[in-house]
């Protein structure tokens, strides 16, 4: 059974031959290829080669090609810093004027952005080389809430969420951000991704209340899922941190999969998402992959899989693994997952 078959069967609620594995590992993949972050993100060939070599080295079932968390924000005009040895990061809003930002949030800008073109081309190259063998998850950067926050500025955005006089403008801005995100989804599938994925961590309980999530984020997630279902696109929604209080809301969206991290109550997540969404993650990318030991890693993999009874999960890291994670820990992760009896 190929990695693609293994993950797709799991997403469809069917029994695969073993638990599938996928890692959010663009930083270790680049480092093991001898590439700086600048060299990695500036070349489609470098991105594709780094990920293909990484998944073959460790025997993973899927590729999650990523570069940073501000691709779409940069495409709509957010000021971006591009460090040589670290992922890109936003350093200033695209605009603090909502009217101007509504104009900047133009879906047509996505296909014109050079950094996005590079990642999309990398998906195409991976499809040509390992399509059908290794599942390719096209990472579509940020969803509406997180994209709006980056492009508008965190403090200003969060303050406006509490201002009833600003509500109509904020919802209009979120609608535009949703359309920008949807454009990236379409581009990724056209390039050859098997499934897609995205982050919307700013909409989680670590930053806003459940009431705010339900008012300003959830409606756009439901809208996205309805549109993706219409297009037969399976996606993975990632929200960092402890999502216990919004887990049922997330499960009711209907996404093919959700990705959670170690801060969430894993037994609770296994129960809430069972039969609704496959779970990706939730192994601690720093505490286990970077600072852990092979023995601790193997025990954690078994603990997590026991919560799910080995079903409805594509096991991996709950977020991006840091560069320098020991090879022994990655191998212990893969070996423990393979050894788990379904």
Model confidence over 136-154: pLDDT tens digits? 999 999 999 999 999 999 9
Q: What is the pLDDT of residues 66-110, one digit of tens each?
A: 999 999 999 999 999 999 999 999 999 999 999 999 999 999 999
Q: What's the whole-number mean pLDDT along residues 265-272? A: 98
- The pLDDT assigned to 341 comes to 79
pLDDT higher than threshold 90 for residue 259: yes
Q: pTM for the full model?
A: 0.97
CATH C-level class of 3-339: alpha beta
| Average pLDDT over the chain, rounded to an integer | 97
- The pLDDT assigned to 243 comes to 98
Listed residue (323, 225, 280) closest to 23, CA to CA: 280
Q: Is 199 helix (H, G, I), strand (E, B) or coil?
A: strand
CB 283 within 8 A of CB 316: yes
- The pLDDT assigned to 105 comes to 98
Quote the percentage of the chain above a pLDDT of 70: 100
Q: What is the pLDDT of residues 279-338, one digit of tens each?
A: 999 999 999 999 999 999 999 999 999 999 999 999 999 999 999 999 999 999 999 999
Q: How do 79-81 and 89-92 pair as beta strands?
A: antiparallel
What are the residue boundaries of the structural domains of the chain, listed by start? 3-339
Contacts of 124 (CB under 8 A, 6+ apart): 44, 191, 192
Cα 170 to Cα 157: distance, rounded to the nearest angstrom: 8
Cα 140 to Cα 185: distance, rounded to the nearest angstrom: 6
Q: What is the pLDDT of residues 208-243, one digit of tens each?
A: 999 999 999 999 999 999 999 999 999 999 999 999
């Amino acid at each position: 059974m190929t990695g693609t078959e293994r993950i797709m069967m799991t997403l469809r609620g069917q029994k695969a031959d073993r638990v599938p594995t996928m890692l959010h590992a663009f930083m270790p993949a680049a480092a093991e290829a001898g590439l700086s972050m600048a060299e990695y993100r500036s070349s489609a060939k470098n991105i594709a080669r780094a990920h293909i070599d990484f998944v073959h080295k460790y025997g993973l079932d899927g590729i999650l090609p990523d570069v940073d968390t501000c691709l779409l924000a940069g495409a709509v005009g957010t000021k971006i810093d591009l460090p040589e040895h670290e992922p890109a990061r936003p350093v200033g809003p695209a605009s603090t004027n909502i009217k101007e930002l509504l104009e900047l949030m133009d879906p047509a800008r996505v296909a014109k952005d050079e950094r996005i073109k590079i990642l999309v081309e990398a998906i195409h190259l991976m499809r040509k080389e390992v399509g059908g063998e290794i599942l390719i998850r096209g990472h579509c950067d940020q969803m509406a809430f997180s994209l709006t926050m980056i492009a508008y500025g965190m403090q200003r955005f969060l303050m406006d969420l509490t201002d009833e006089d600003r509500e109509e403008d904020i919802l209009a801005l979120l609608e535009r951000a949703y359309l920008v995100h949807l454009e990236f989804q379409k581009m990724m599938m056209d390039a050859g991704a098997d499934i897609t994925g995205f982050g919307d961590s700013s909409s989680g309980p670590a930053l806003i209340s459940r009431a705010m999530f339900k008012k300003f984020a959830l409606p756009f997630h439901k809208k996205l899922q309805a549109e993706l279902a219409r297009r037969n696109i399976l996606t993975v929604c990632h929200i960092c941190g402890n999502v216990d209080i919004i887990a049922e809301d997330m499960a009711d969206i209907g996404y093919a999969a959700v990705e959670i991290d170690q801060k969430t109550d894993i037994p609770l997540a296994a129960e809430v998402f069972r039969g609704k969404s496959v779970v990706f993650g939730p192994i601690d990318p720093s505490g286990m992959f970077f600072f852990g030991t092979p023995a601790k890693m193997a025990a954690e993999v078994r603990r997590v899989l026991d919560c799910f009874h080995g079903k409805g999960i594509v096991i991996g890291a709950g977020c991006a693994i840091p560069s320098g994670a020991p090879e022994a820990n990655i191998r212990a992760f893969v070996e423990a997952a393979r050894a788990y009896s379904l």
